[in-house]
Every structure is written in C-alpha cells, then in structure tokens.
Amino acid sequence: MSVIWCDAAGSDFSSLRSTIRHIDGYEVSRSVVDDNRVPVVFWYHDSMAWISLLIGPLIWFAMVYSLSIEVAWISSACAIIIGFFLWLVALGYENPEMAKATIWGVVITIILSLFSAYITFM
C-alpha cells in the first residue's frame, strides 16, 4: 500500500498536522475468520442462567419468609426491574441461555406474585 505524507495545506512538512492519503484508492477491509469452534454449553451448566432464573423467585421467597405472603406480591416489581437489567447483560454478553432464563425467572416470579396478590386481595 502506497501512502503520501503531506500536511493539511498540501505544502511542505512545516506543519505537525500530517494526513495520510492512499494512492491505491481503495478502502482497507478486514475480515475475521474464526476457525475455533465454541463448545455448546447447555443452560443447566451455565451459572449465570441459574442466577437469572432464580433471582426473582428467591426475592419472593425472601419476602414471604421475612414479611408475609400478603406483602410478597410487590416482589414482581423488583423482579421485573432486576430481570430487565439481567436481560440486558445477557444480550451484551451474547448469552441466549441467560436471556431465556431471565425471562422465565420473571414469569415465575409474576405467577408467584399473582398468587400472593390473590391471597391478599381476595
């Protein structure tokens, strides 16, 4: 690849602002070839998937144990907020098992919270 060094004004090298121009006229593109196979990890072997699955129901059980079942329905709000951020982490790390486990954990917590709300308000 041929390059010409010149300053921003196109004159001599008196200026410290140098730019590079490509004579060949084409963009340099890089392609990444990864021949390494990533091992398949099932969700039940992934600790982050277990944490994502169980964090919401554990919040509900902690509220039932420490307060009462009539108050534990509010744990759904906590589980939804925490689950959303765990889901974003799973997307950032490109971990689909963790993302699915997070959604299932939030769904389980909502079911448990609906049971608590039924006991409380009915």
Q: Which residues contact 96 (CB under 8 A, 6 or more apart)?
A: 90
Q: Assess contact for 81 and 59: CB atoms under 8 A.
A: no
Residue type, position 110, single letter: I
pLDDT digits (tens, 9 = 90+) for 58-80: 999 999 999 999 999 999 999 99
Cα–Cα distance for residue pair 95/79, rounded to 1 Å: 20
Extents of the domains making up the chain = 43-121
Instruction: Name the one residue in this structure whose structure tokens are 């997070």.
Output: 102
**Which of these ranges, 5-19, 86-100, 105-119, has the smallest mean pLDDT?**
5-19
Q: Which residues contact 74 (CB under 8 A, 6 or more apart)?
A: 63, 113
Q: Assess contact for 49 and 101: CB atoms under 8 A.
A: yes
Q: Is the pTM of this model over 0.85?
A: no
pLDDT at 109 over 90: yes
Sort 112 into a burial class: Cβ within 10 Å, 0-12 / 13-18 / 19+: buried
Select the more confidently predicted residue: 7 or 105.
105
